[in-house]
Amino acid sequence: MSTLPNAPYHHGNLRQALLEAALRLLEQQGEAGLGLRDLARAVGVSPAAPYRHFDSRAALLEALAVTGFQRFTARMQAVMASAPDDPLAAMGKTYVVFALQNPNLFRLMFSPQLKKDARPGLRMAADAAFDTLRQAVGGTALDGRIRALAAWAKVHGLAVLLLDGQIAIRAGEDSEALVAEIIGSL
């Protein structure tokens, strides 16, 4: 069986190709600029093709947020495994770097518009990310949750303040070094 250059996408691959293209469009143009028609054009398929995988724009955004949480969790788990001495500091830095590298995806993952309680798949993906942090924090069932929420708040706040341009970086200051210092101080 030969694969021709213009062979139609296999269904499984088309979904993946659509998601990858959508992640690129999301960062390039922002969430507002991301529609199923733009996506079809970017991937080179018919305007109707994306609808075979995503019922609506909302379904596409949900799938992107789920993908974001899956990649984020995988990265967090890798960092946790590779920094056994101080996993929380390494994970904190990874959290902020992920946000700065994928600002629009990060905003989408934590968007109040994409209500997680009405989307079981998204809820599960977000819970898996929290569970990774919960595991790194340790502690008892009771205080572990509180400590994980506190650790999450710290790095989420730093990420949001940096993304929103609220922390005044001084002239000549290295913003990455500043992040490391703040994380170290958290």
Among 110, 119, 128, 135, binds a second copy (CB under 8 A): 110
Q: Do the Cβ atoms of 110 and 100 come closer than 8 Å?
A: no
**Considering beta carbons, is residue 40 or 61 the nearer one to a second copy?**
61
82 phi and psi angles, rounded to 5 deg: -90, -5
- Binding-site size for a second copy (CB under 8 A) equals 33
- Is residue 119 near a second copy by the rule CB under 8 A? no
**Residues 38, 59: Cα–Cα separation, whole Å:** 15
Binding piece for a second copy, criterion CB under 8 A, among 15-23, 58-66, 73-81, 156-164: 156-164
130 phi and psi angles, rounded to 5 deg: -65, -40
- Is residue 58 near a second copy by the rule CB under 8 A? no
Among 164, 174, 175, 176, binds a second copy (CB under 8 A): 164
**Residues 22, 34: Cα–Cα separation, whole Å:** 7
Q: Do the Cβ atoms of 178 and 83 come closer than 8 Å?
A: no
**Considering beta carbons, is residue 136 or 182 the nearer one to a second copy?**
182
**Considering beta carbons, is residue 78 or 161 the nearer one to a second copy?**
161
**Residues 166, 126: Cα–Cα separation, whole Å:** 26
DSSP state of 45: -
Among 150, 174, 175, 176, binds a second copy (CB under 8 A): 150
**Considering beta carbons, is residue 78 or 146 the nearer one to a second copy?**
146
**Considering beta carbons, is residue 18 or 94 the nearer one to a second copy?**
94
Q: Which amino acid is at 34?
A: L
Among 118, 165, 171, 172, binds a second copy (CB under 8 A): 165
Q: Do the Cβ atoms of 59 and 18 come closer than 8 Å?
A: no
- Tell me the residue length of the chain: 186
Contact residues: a second copy, CB under 8 A: 110-112, 115-117, 126, 143, 146-147, 149-150, 152-161, 163-168, 178, 181-182, 185-186
